[in-house]
């Protein structure tokens, strides 16, 4: 991505396209003739202005450049290494962890294994913290063991009614030798 100084604004051409009215500014940047397209209500480029840009295309009007926004252009396009992107990633990870914790708490509630009403918030927070550490794959902050939930502190799952019958029996342990089978046709 080159950075240049606008030496001169040598022309202006108004036109209309799919995105409404536009203005092409003919510029001289570091001795090169280029043009830059902007909305009419955007500030016009000024001589002496420093500009980070990329060459977009070369056509019948000349070489078109586009301004590159280093810290995002207000359209959500902040670079991946910016502090705002790190905070956004942290927020997304935390939301996913909270959703996982809510699903576990809902499952515990459905099975009647939910802790007392006083302990729900604490359990939810501990689960959220544990899931967040798992989602990240590591932790950058020191995790307080008192605020982290251990696997052995979770209630055992209720597996009643999920037992499989022994092969060769009906569901109640009764042999199935007396069940008539139709002869197989091959």
The pLDDT, as a whole number, for residue 111 is: 82
The pLDDT, as a whole number, for residue 8 is: 92
Which of these three, 23, 38, 67, is where a domain ends? 67
pTM of the full structure? 0.39
Distance of CA 98 to the CA centre of its chain: 15
The pLDDT, as a whole number, for residue 152 is: 52
Q: How many domains does the chain have?
A: 2
The pLDDT, as a whole number, for residue 23 is: 93
The residues, any chain, with a CB within 8 Å of residue 184's CB and separated by 6 or more, are none
The pLDDT, as a whole number, for residue 21 is: 95
The pLDDT, as a whole number, for residue 62 is: 82
Domain contains 73: no
Domain contains 158: no
Cα separation, 171 vs 157, whole angstroms: 22
**DSSP class per residue in 70-124:** TT--SSS---TTSHHHHHHHHHHHHHHHHHHHHHHHHHHHHTT----TTTHHHHH
Q: Helices (DSSP H) in the chain: which residue ranges?
A: 83-110, 120-136
Question: CB count, 10 Å around CB of 61?
Answer: 14
Instruction: Indicate if 47 and 90 belong to the same structural domain.
Output: no
Cα separation, 93 vs 100, whole angstroms: 11
The pLDDT, as a whole number, for residue 26 is: 92
Cα separation, 79 vs 86, whole angstroms: 10
- Stretches where the chain sits below pLDDT 50 are 73, 139-140, 151, 186
Instruction: Indicate if 87 and 148 belong to the same structural domain.
Output: yes
Domain contains 171: no
Cα separation, 69 vs 138, whole angstroms: 32
Structural domain harbouring 133: 83-153
Which of these three, 36, 67, 98, is where a domain ends? 67
Cα separation, 153 vs 115, whole angstroms: 11
Cα separation, 56 vs 38, whole angstroms: 14
Domain contains 113: yes
Domain contains 162: no
Domain contains 128: yes
Domain contains 72: no
The pLDDT, as a whole number, for residue 84 is: 74
Strands 50-59 and 62-67: antiparallel
Instruction: Indicate if 148 and 93 belong to the same structural domain.
Output: yes
- Opening angle at CA 51, ends 48 and 56, nearest 5: 135
In terms of Cα–Cα distance, which of 120, 126, 70, 75 is closest to 98? 126
Instruction: Indicate if 57 and 89 belong to the same structural domain.
Output: no
């Amino acid at each position: 991505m080159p950075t240049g100084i606008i030496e001169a604004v040598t022309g202006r051409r108004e036109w209309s396209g799919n995105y409404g009215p536009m203005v092409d500014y003919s510029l001289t940047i570091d001795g090169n003739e280029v043009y830059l397209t902007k909305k009419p209500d955007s500030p016009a480029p000024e001589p002496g202005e420093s500009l980070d840009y990329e060459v977009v295309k070369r056509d019948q009007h000349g070489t078109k450049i586009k301004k590159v926004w280093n810290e995002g252009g207000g359209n959500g396009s902040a670079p991946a290494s910016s502090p705002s992107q790190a905070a956004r990633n942290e927020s997304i990870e935390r939301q996913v962890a909270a959703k996982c914790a809510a699903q576990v708490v809902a499952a515990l509630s459905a099975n009647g294994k939910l802790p007392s009403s006083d302990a729900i918030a604490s359990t939810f927070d501990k689960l959220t913290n544990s899931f967040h550490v798992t989602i990240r794959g590591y932790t950058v902050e020191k995790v307080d063991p008192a605020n982290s939930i251990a696997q052995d502190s979770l209630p055992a799952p209720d597996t009643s009614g999920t037992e499989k019958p022994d092969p060769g029996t009906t569901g109640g342990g009764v042999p199935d030798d007396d069940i008539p089978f139709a002869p197989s046709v091959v």
